[in-house]
Amino acid sequence: MRLADYLAPDSLDEAVALLGASTSSRALAGGHSLLLEPNRSRMTDAVLVDLRRISGLADIEVRRGGVQIGAMTTLAAIANDKMIQDRYSALAEAAGAAGDAQVRNRATIGGNLADANPGADLPAALLALGAELEVRHPSGTRTQTADGLWVGPFENSLRQSEVITVVSLPPQPAQSGSAYEKISHPATLYAICGVAASVTLAPDGTIRACRCAVTGAATIPTTLAAVGQAAAGLTPDAETLATVAEQADRNLTFEGDRFASAEYRRNLTTVLTERALTRAVERATTNAGG
Ligand SMILES: Cc1cc2nc3c(=O)[nH]c(=O)nc-3n(C[C@H](O)[C@H](O)[C@H](O)COP(=O)(O)OP(=O)(O)OC[C@H]3O[C@@H](n4cnc5c(N)ncnc54)[C@H](O)[C@@H]3O)c2cc1C
DSSP per-residue string spanning 75-119: HHHHHT-HHHHHH-HHHHHHHHHSS-HHHHHH-BHHHHHHH--TT
Cα–Cα distance between 111 and 149 in angstroms, integer?
12
**DSSP alpha helix (H) spans, the chain:** 12-21, 75-79, 82-87, 89-97, 101-106, 109-115, 122-128, 225-231, 238-245, 262-286
Please write the tens of the pLDDT for every residue from 223-243: 999 999 999 999 999 999 999
Residues pairing with 191 in the sheet: 184
Q: Which of 35, 112, 126, 184 to mutate to test the pocket of ligand 1 (most atoms within 8 A of CB)?
A: 112
CA-CA-CA-CA torsion sign (123, 158, 135, 110): positive
- This prediction's pTM: 0.96
Q: How confident is the model at residue 45 (pLDDT cuts 50, 70, 90)?
A: confident
Residue minimizing CA distance to atom 33 of ligand 1: 115
Residue 67: predicted pLDDT: 98
pLDDT at 111: 98
Ligand 1, CB cutoff 6 Å, lining residues: 26-34, 36, 51, 71, 98-99, 103, 106-108, 110-112, 114-115, 117, 120-122, 158, 163-164, 188-190
User: Would you say residue 147 has pLDDT above 50?
Assistant: yes
Mean pLDDT for all residues in the chain: 94
What are the tens digits of pLDDT across the range 79-89? Answer: 999 999 999 99
Ligand 1 nearest atom to the CA of residue 158, by list position:
43
CA–centroid distance, 158 to ligand 1, in Å, is 15
Residue-level pLDDT at 290 = 47
Taking each helix axis from N to C end, the angle separating 262-286 and 238-245, rounded to the nearest 10 degrees, works out to: 140
